[in-house]
């Protein structure tokens, strides 16, 4: 399995909408770690949170699993017996690589090629949406969160990580500026940053933290704790 440095946007050209295809799958670990500040820390904490919250004989879901980094982290953290990890993505190229990555994992992972809006969630103690809800059409987000809430056992948790929009145009501009400085520090050029931004414009739709908190409450979660933020990247734990 070869993994490459992300150079997908380093030549000027016509930029179409971003898709999770074979070219993206091949560079994905490099792309996400140089694009999402704190990604490694979040994956690490997913391991810790699975040790804390997974319940015996329950299901753990990784929705929009990409190459399965969060599933593998949950598998490493598991201390309870008879848990079943289900990892879902609708991009065949991502799932194919995820299966390769999972060879030799601490626990069997059940990979499913499906839209996360169609997956039945039941008997879950932990559900992870690590930078996936941002790609789901706005009008479908609340229904999905309600279904997740309905499929969680008492005491179960949802980990929701998202790129967010600032509460005001000024805050948003400051967060975007810091994020772009991070990307430059990680070796991306201004051309790569601007072409990637164009590619994601109609595909990744960020919302404010207040909108997320309100919607989670609406969906029936008892409490929500934002536990991580770096610039415009946030992770929350929502308790059933």
153 bridge partner residues = none
Give the three-state DSSP class for 29. helix
3-state secondary structure of 197: helix
H or E stretch covering 234: strand 233-239
Q: Which stretch binds ligand GEK (CB under 6 A): 61-69, 168-176, 191-199, 216-224?
A: 61-69
Between 162 and 224, CB nearer to ligand GEK: 162
Element (H, E) at 88: strand 84-89
Q: Residue 125, interface with ligand GEK (CB under 6 A)?
A: no
Which one of 2-10, 110-118, 187-195, 212-220 is the stretch in contact with ligand GEK (CB under 6 A)?
Answer: 110-118
- Record the tokens describing residue 210, joined without a space: 């207040």
Q: Is 135 in the site for ligand GEK (CB under 6 A)?
A: yes
Comparing CB distances to ligand GEK, the nearer of 34 and 53 is 34
- 20 binding ligand GEK? (CB under 6 A): yes
- Which range binds ligand GEK by CB under 6 A, 99-107, 114-122, 190-198, 221-229? 114-122
What is the DSSP secondary structure assignment for residue 46, as one 8-state letter? H
- Burial of residue 27 (CB within 10 Å: 0-12, 13-18, 19+) is middle
The smaller minimum CB distance to ligand GEK, of residues 168 and 186, is found at 186
Does position 130 interact with ligand GEK (CB under 6 A)? The reply is yes
Beta strands, E only, 135-222? 152-165, 207-208
Q: Which chain residues interact with ligand GEK by CB under 6 A?
A: 20, 32, 64-66, 69-70, 88-91, 94, 115-117, 130-132, 135-136
């Amino acid at each position: 399995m070869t993994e490459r440095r992300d150079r997908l946007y380093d030549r000027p050209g016509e930029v179409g909408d971003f898709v999770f295809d074979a070219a993206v799958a091949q560079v994905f670990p490099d792309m996400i770690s140089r694009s999402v500040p704190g990604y490694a820390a979040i994956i690490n904490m997913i391991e810790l949170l699975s040790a804390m919250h997974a319940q015996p004989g329950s299901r753990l879901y990784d929705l929009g699993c990409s190459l399965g980094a969060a599933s593998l982290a949950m598998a490493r953290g598991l201390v309870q017996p008879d848990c079943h990890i289900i990892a879902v993505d609708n991009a065949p190229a991502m799932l194919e690589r995820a299966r390769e990555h999972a060879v030799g994992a601490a626990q069997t992972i059940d990979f499913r090629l499906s839209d996360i809006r169609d997956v039945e969630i039941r008997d879950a103690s932990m559900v992870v949406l690590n930078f996936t809800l941002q790609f789901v059409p706005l009008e479908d987000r609340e229904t999905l969160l309600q279904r997740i809430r309905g499929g969680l056992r008492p005491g179960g948790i949802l980990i929701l990580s998202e790129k967010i929009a600032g509460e005001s145009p000024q805050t948003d501009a400051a967060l975007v500026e810091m994020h772009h400085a991070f990307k430059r520090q990680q070796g991306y050029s201004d051309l790569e940053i601007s072409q990637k931004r164009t590619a994601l414009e109609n595909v990744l739709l960020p919302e404010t933290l207040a909108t997320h908190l309100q919607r989670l409450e609406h969906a029936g979660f008892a409490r929500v704790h934002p536990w991580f933020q770096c610039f415009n990247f946030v992770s929350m734990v929502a308790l059933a």
